[in-house]
Amino acid sequence: MAITFLIFLFPLPLILKQDILQCDAVDPADVAAIVKTVVRALAVYGTAAFREMIKNCMSQDLSWKVSD
C-alpha cells in the first residue's frame, strides 16, 4: 500500500528523470527500517484490521470546512 502511494505521488519516470533515486551511500539502518515497515504492512494487508483502517481513514473529514 505504501509503495503504491509513493508511486502515485512520484511517478517512476519522473523520479528517474530527476535523478532523485541517485545516492552515494545507503544507511543499513534505513534499509532495515524499510524492510520492517513493509513486513508489518504485508502482515496486516487484507485483514479485518486493514479494512478497519480504511474505514477510519475514509470517514475523516479532511475538507477545508473543518477547523481546529
Domain boundaries, the chain: 24-60
What is the predicted pLDDT for the residue at 24? 74
Confidence at residue 65, expressed as pLDDT on a 0 to 100 scale? 78
- Angle formed at CA 58 by CA 60 and CA 67, multiple of 5 degrees: 20
CA torsion through residues 59, 6, 41, 30, sign: negative
Least confident of 9-13, 24-28, 33-37, 62-66: 9-13
Judged against a pLDDT cut of 90, whether residue 51 lies above it is answered with yes
Q: Determine the pLDDT at residue 61.
A: 86
Q: What is the pLDDT of residues 9-26, one digit of tens each?
A: 555 555 555 555 666 787
DSSP 29-56: HHHHHHHHHHHHHHHHTTSHHHHHHHHH
